[in-house]
Structure 1
């Protein structure tokens, strides 16, 4: 079963070659969101768990993931993926010159697991025209700017 992702086309300049003209790239367009309440309700409908059970389990996962990340551990969530802390810092010429003040920020890196990455193998793409593109383009395709291109 192919899943369709909407995308628009946007102009982007190469930051290292600012004098060159912009090129056009695909930009994924969200078609909504799934919030925590809706997810809990959907899981409840697919299982024998009550909504309270689902909320407790998800809250427990978040709590334990935070604890593990603070301890420097990798959090593996099966087919969902894994979480690990990462750092951004300035560079030093020699290891002995590196100081704690050179660390600028920390972040949480997410690496999707097989259960999520498998959906990319059957993805189809539908081009949509965004409001900003409508105002910058005078023309358009005969189908109102929608172009389907299934891959897989």
Structure 2
């Protein structure tokens, strides 16, 4: 198996006057949903699909609770999760207020398991996938 990519032309956002260059862009080829993942994992061990589903669901709830408390969640060789904050700046520390916080995001840092996987990827070029266009809204007559 290999990671599929297409070649796309892009401008340098820092130097818009420069000529565009061509870059690789990963192309998704399917997806793995939660139910399929639980089935696949259950086929690799002695736990049932229901056991796997309950375990993963429980882990997600625990991760969510830990992140709400501001904890870094270290998930072994898989990686770690942490809440990051987006905010506007203030001229001085005293002028900073919670109102300058624009939102939060979850930062994931892959661990050895995923980092090592990235080192062994194979790549194969495919045609650029078409952009899906939303259907125009119907107007009543």
TM-score relative to the length of structure 1: 0.81
Aligned match of 2:80 in 76, 79, 82?
82
Instruction: Work out whether 1:118 is the aligned partner of 2:102.
Output: no
Question: How far apart in 2 are the matches of 1:93 and 1:12?
Answer: 36
Question: How far apart in 2 are the matches of 1:91 and 1:20?
Answer: 31
Tell me which moved more, 66-75 or 113-122: 113-122
Q: Find the counterpart in structure 1 of residue 137 from structure 2.
A: none
Q: Which runs of 5+ in 1 are unaligned?
A: 133-152
Question: Pairwise mapping of residues 1-150 of structure 1 onto structure 2 (< 5 A)?
Answer: 3-132=1-130
Structure 1 residue 53, shift from structure 2 partner: 0.8
Structure 1 residue 78, shift from structure 2 partner: 0.8
More helix by share: 1
Verify the 8 A CA contact 2:73 2:81 in the aligned structure 1. yes
TM-score relative to the length of structure 2: 0.87
Question: How far apart in 1 are the matches of 2:49 and 2:74?
Answer: 24
Structure 1 residue 16, shift from structure 2 partner: 2.4
Runs of 4+ in 1 over 2 A off after TM superposition: none
How many pairs were matched up?
131
